[in-house]
Amino acid sequence: MIDVNTPIIYICDYDFVRVDNIISQSLNQKKIFEWNPATGTTNFSNKLPLGSGKEQSLESFLYDKYMDESGSEKYLVLKEIHDYLDDSVIKSLLLLMSQRRLYDPEYNITIIILSTTLKVPNEIEKYVSFLEVDYPDENEINALIEEHIDINFYDRSKFTQSDRDKLMPSLKGMTAFEIDRMLDMAMSSNGSLSAEDTEMILKQKKQMVKKSGLLELIDTPEKLSDIGGMNALKDYLERKAKIIKQLSEAYKFGVSIPKGIFIVGMPGCGKSLCAKASAALFEAPLLKLDMGSMMGKYVGESESNLRKAIRIAEAASPCVLWIDEIEKAFSGVKDGNSDILMRMFGYFLSWLQDKKSAVYVIATANNAENLPPELKRKGRFDEIFCVNLPNEKEREDIFKVHFQKRNRNVSFDISKLIKQTDGFNGADIESVVVEAIEECFLDKTKSFTEQLLIEKAKETVSISRSCKKQIDTMKTLFKDSSFKNATNGLIIDNM
Ligand code: ATP
């Protein structure tokens, strides 16, 4: 960025020590000036206020540097100045300095804004480039672990390679500062560091990821066997799991890294269940991305949020990134009426297309009618599956899953029940079983029979009745030949 004369580089991060180190390393021996609201003009190396220091306002600091005629190369690190960016004089100084940086070859000052909050006023947006500092990789995480072992005088022989391998995935996707805190907590809880700390770290990490407001770390107790029907989709996921679990060998062999799948289908038919069961099958964490929460107030904020979320996922890989209700996020793109949405969509698509990391994306949608065609095109996702309402065999399987889940050893025939539940989705079937069991519990004269289940089914307003219009639309949509049927794997046109 510096080489192409970027006037302002914006780094949104809160690990100032780490970013300062990166700045020092990149700008080795160059003149760096710091200003922050606490100590004013500050010595970048030792963090002590300089000269008049605290008395110098941001305005006078910038004014001095704007008037600089020395022609020498200088870097200004402005920390936590987001609250000052509403001030018209500050905005104007930043604008003038940016223009001077671009048009005056004698003026060689680059501004680096380092802030915990992203806020870029419209007036200077064109001169700002955003820079994201990557999360620590395995080497850096290992270095942090070593540091903690040394500081705590922990017996190194007690920390085995297997401990390290088990701990590593849980420490990925966090900043160095957060990893430090986790290791401190692990050490102080029982005076040791081992694979047993993984559970505590994951618990803390869950909170952290949630606090970021962009992603959620979801528990995945579900197994593939908890899904009734969808055999083609389940077989497909089992094949991919074999690849993901030995990714580096597969890659060396020439196998393409799985990108992910797009599951479109009727509501309550088990799409979310599939996302959860896949993560468990891949033995990888499940990160749920809420597109709605990406939208920010300031210029560049929404894109930055999406980039940040993707960066967390990449750092936490191998993982499954679940984008639920993707239609809600990107349906506006088709009309081209939102620049922000278009940019986010473009970024997401190119990331998906070029993705080299082991982030397996599962996007789910109830309604793909208004989705931009680019998303449905092959090459973005490995496959697009459509989930129809379950057929007879699938309804039987789903009933069996829910009987088993609730410890009902059912030996009676349920063929009439299967017929009765035509047009039901998985969630409807589950509710029939739940209602019948509740009835037996409350009224001890009742027994769990096919007749009782049929009664409950008759009382249920199934999906095909409550969402008739949506289902009809979906059926038309499924005529799209690029969709594969989750039940039998056939391309929809061949059905
Ligand atoms: P929505 O699109 O409305 O979010 P969905 O397709 O993601 O729905 P799920 O949330 O996965 O549906 O399903 C809701 C509940 O219905 C599940 O928790 C599960 O108990 C039951 N269910 C749905 N489909 C199946 C299935 N194929 N096998 C077993 N249970 C199912």
Which atom of ligand 1 is nearest the CA belonging to 273?
A: 11
DSSP structure string for 51-106 = TTGGGS-HHHHHHHHHT--S---EEEEEES-GGGGG-HHHHHHHHHHHHHHHH-TT
pLDDT in the model for residue 350 = 87
Pairing of strands 8-12, 215-218: unpaired
Atom of ligand 1 nearest to the CA of 365: 2
Show the beta-strand stretches assigned E in 220-291: 260-265, 286-289
Mutation pick for ligand 1 pocket among 273, 394, 399 (CB with most ligand atoms within 8 Å) = 273
| pLDDT at res. 495 | 36
Q: Separation of 396 CA from ligand 1 center, angstroms? A: 15
Closest ligand 1 atom to residue 226 Cα is 29
For residues 117 and 78, the answer to whether their CB atoms sit within 8 Å is: no
Strands of the 128-131 sheet, one edge to the other? 40-43, 31-36, 74-79, 109-115, 8-12, 128-131
Burial label for 18, CB within 10 Å (0-12, 13-18, 19+), is middle
Write the CA distances from 214 to 293, 297, 300, 309, 393, integer angstroms. 6, 15, 15, 6, 39
Rounded distance from Cα 270 to ligand 1 centre (Å): 3
Atom of ligand 1 nearest to the CA of 265: 6
Q: How far is the CA of 294 from the centre of ligand 1 (A)?
A: 26
Quote the ligand 1 centre to 218 CA distance (angstroms): 16
Spatial CA neighbour of 135 closest among 184, 176, 182? 176
Rounded to the nearest angstrom, the distance between the alpha carbon of 423 and the centre of ligand 1 is: 14
CA-nearest residue, atom 9 of ligand 1: 270
Q: How far, in Å, from the CA of 426 to the mean position of ligand 1? A: 5
Q: Atom 10 in ligand 1: which residue has the minimum CA distance?
A: 272
Look up residue 109 and give its amino acid. I
For the chain (length 495 residues), average pLDDT per consecutive 10? 90 88 89 93 90 79 94 94 94 96 93 90 90 85 91 83 85 85 87 86 80 84 93 96 86 89 90 94 90 71 83 83 85 66 84 85 84 75 90 96 92 93 94 95 93 93 77 71 77 52
Ligand 1: nearest atom to the Cα of 263 = 6
The closest of 352, 378, 390, 374 to 265, measured between CA atoms, is 390
Question: Which 3 state secondary structure label does DSSP give 3?
Answer: coil
b/e map 424-459, b = 16+ CB within 10 Å = bbbbbbbbbbebbbeebeeeeeeebebebbbbbbee
Cα-to-centroid distance, 266 and ligand 1 (Å)? 10
421 close to 428: Cβ distance less than 8 angstroms: yes
Q: What is the per-residue pLDDT for 162?
A: 87
- Write out the two tokens for 220: 């995945």
Q: Which of 313, 323, 2 is nearest to 135 (CA)?
A: 313
Q: What is the pLDDT of residue 455?
A: 94
> Do 346 and 169 form a contact (C-beta atoms < 8 A)?
no
CA of 265 to the centre of ligand 1 (A): 11
Q: Which ligand 1 atom is at minimum distance from the Cα of 228? A: 28
pLDDT at 278: 95
Which helix (H) or strand (E) segment is 16 a member of?
helix 16-26
Residue 334: per-residue pLDDT: 62
pTM: 0.75
CA of 453 to the centre of ligand 1 (A): 19
Atom of ligand 1 nearest to the CA of 274: 11
Ligand 1 closest atom vs CA 427: 16
* Residue of the CA atom closest to atom 8 of ligand 1: 268
Which residues line ligand 1 at a C-beta cut-off of 6 Å? 227-230, 265, 267-273, 366, 398, 401, 426-427, 430
- Closest residue (by CA) to atom 16 of ligand 1? 427
CA of 271 to the centre of ligand 1 (A): 6
62: Cβ–Cβ under 8 A, 6 or more apart, which residues?
Answer: 76, 90, 93, 94, 97
CA–centroid distance, 389 to ligand 1, in Å, is 11
Query: Going from the N-terminus, what domains does the chain have, and what CATH number goes with each?
Result: 8-131 (3.40.50), 138-211 (no CATH), 224-387 (3.40.50.300), 392-460 (1.10.8.60)
CA distance 2 to 360: 34
Residue whose Cα lies nearest atom 18 of ligand 1: it is 273
414 close to 450: Cβ distance less than 8 angstroms: yes
Ligand 1, atom 22: nearest CA belongs to which residue?
426
Whole-angstrom CA distances from 148 to 162, 183, 315, 406 are 18, 7, 21, 46
Give residue 261's pLDDT: 94
Hey, which of 237, 263, 269, 460 would you mutate to test ligand 1's pocket, going by the most ligand atoms within 8 Å of its Cβ?
A: 269
Which residue minimizes the CA distance to atom 19 of ligand 1?
427
Both tokens of 367, joined, read 């309604």
> What is d(CA 101, CA 304) in angstroms, rounded to the nearest whole number?
25
